[in-house]
Amino acid sequence: MRYIESLYKGDFGFRRIAMNRTTKLILAGLLASTFASIAAAADLTPVEQPMVAQPVDSGTGFYVGSLSSATFMDDTDFDVAGGLFNVNTDYDVGYYSALRAGYNFGSMGFVAPRIELEVGYGNASVDNHSVNGFGVDSIDSYGDARTIQGFVNGYLDIPLAAPGETGFLSGITPYVGGGVGAINMKLKKQGIAGFATLMDDSDTRFAYHLDAGLGINLQAIGLFTNTALFNGTTMDIGYRYTAADDFSFTAREGTTSKTDFSSNAITIGFRKQF
């Protein structure tokens, strides 16, 4: 009996050892399978990369662009009836639109100079006339002041960040400058309703403008970073003062007189450098 009992116990112990080994093998297999699945999932899961604003080269190169503005034109005046009557004209807010092309010379110390050519068209409608100081209602005053303008411009860009530095300030560049050229101004069909068209004449004179503003490199500040169309594109926002003196106009009835042109404008423009 003891022999049989020992055999029984030995067989049971052998089975228990075998079961333990089998369990361990099964567990090891499950763990290995689990780790393999996790590794495969990690390989298949895309890792989202943070968007980083890429600096855009603002060195030397040619550029083309546009410029538009809301223009606040100062009064003009002209004489009629041999100087017996003086007609002073006040204008509504006008507009100016131009095309420009230039060359950026790149960084030269603390500034980056550039030059450009600009040709544009402007218009402002008459708000009201006054004759010898007596106002005429806006509804009875009509006409426009039209300008064709051409300039050779020069600007100094003043970077806020050091060359090669990245970040928001690297995309913001103040500028100052101006231009010289000519303006053809036409006082177009200006007159008083129920009376007559008093003036419809044009003249061309030397002109100049002074500018100041900010150039904003769109991609350097993190906008349109994945759009090739905006590579090297700068948006300019600024102020412009324009002036030209001694335009000579002849009224419809033959009286000749002189007037000046001046305006203040809020400008916005774009330029793309190649």
Q: How much is the average pLDDT of 228-233? A: 80
Q: How much is the average pLDDT of 82-99? A: 97
More confident residue, 179 or 19: 179
Instruction: Classify residue 104: in a domain, yes or no.
Output: yes
Share of the chain above pLDDT 70, in %: 75
Distance CA 263, CA 74 (A): 6
* pLDDT above 70 (res 50): no
pLDDT category, 221, cuts 50, 70, 90?
confident
* Domain, as residue range, for 25: 1-50
**What is residue 166's predicted lDDT score, i.e. its pLDDT?**
67
Instruction: Classify residue 55: in a domain, yes or no.
Output: no
Number of domains in the chain: 2
Residue 241 belongs to a domain with what CATH number? 2.40.160.20
Rounded to the nearest integer, the mean pLDDT of the chain is: 83
Task: Write out the H or E segment, with its range, that includes residue 211.
Answer: strand 196-217
* pLDDT above 50 (res 8): no
Query: What's the pLDDT tens digit per position in 206-216?
Result: 999 999 999 99
Instruction: Classify residue 5: in a domain, yes or no.
Output: yes
Greatest mean pLDDT range, 26-30, 54-58, 196-200, 229-233: 196-200
Same domain flag for 250 and 160: yes
Same domain flag for 70 and 194: yes
Q: How much is the average pLDDT of 175-185? A: 98
pLDDT category, 7, cuts 50, 70, 90?
very low
28 three-state secondary structure: helix
* pLDDT above 80 (res 250): yes
Global confidence as pTM: 0.76
Same domain flag for 110 and 210: yes
More confident residue, 163 or 273: 273
Same domain flag for 141 and 239: yes
Q: How many CB atoms lie within 10 A of CB 56?
A: 20
CA distances from 75 to 200, 206, 222 (A): 16, 19, 43
**What is residue 164's predicted lDDT score, i.e. its pLDDT?**
65
**What is residue 169's predicted lDDT score, i.e. its pLDDT?**
75
Q: Is 236 exposed, middle or buried (0-12, 13-18, 19+ CB in 10 A)?
A: buried
Same domain flag for 160 and 85: yes
Distance CA 227, CA 240 (A): 31
